[in-house]
Amino acid sequence: MRKFSLIVLTAGVLLSVTSQVEAKGCIKGAVVGGVAGHVAHHGVAGAAAGCAVGHHMANKKQKEADSKQQQSK
């Protein structure tokens, strides 16, 4: 449990340093990935993968919203 707390604290510090634009979707993904990784005993890897996936999904969602907005004009 202590190791997990350290991982969560480290991830929080690293995420707070990044800018808001770069972290879009990353925080939610890192939390979910960290918890899933913790269950599989790979919390840091899970958090990193979750961050990457969350960021990708947020960018994809933003592009779709931009496309819809362009079509409505």
- The predicted-structure confidence for 4-54, as pLDDT tens digits, reads as follows 777 777 777 666 655 455 567 778 888 888 888 877 777 788 888 888 888
What are 21's two structure tokens? 């634009």
Which domain, by its residues, includes 7? 2-72
Scanning 1-73, the segments in alpha helix (DSSP H) are: 2-17, 26-39, 43-72
For residue 57, with 0-12 CB atoms within 10 Å meaning exposed, 13-18 middle and 19 or more buried, which class applies?
middle
Tell me if residue 26 falls in helix, strand or coil.
Answer: helix
Number of structural domains found in the chain: 1
Q: Using CA atoms, how far apart are residues 47 and 65, in angstroms rounded to an integer?
A: 27
The per-residue pLDDT for 19 is 47
Q: Report the predicted TM-score, pTM, of the whole model to 2 decimal places.
A: 0.60
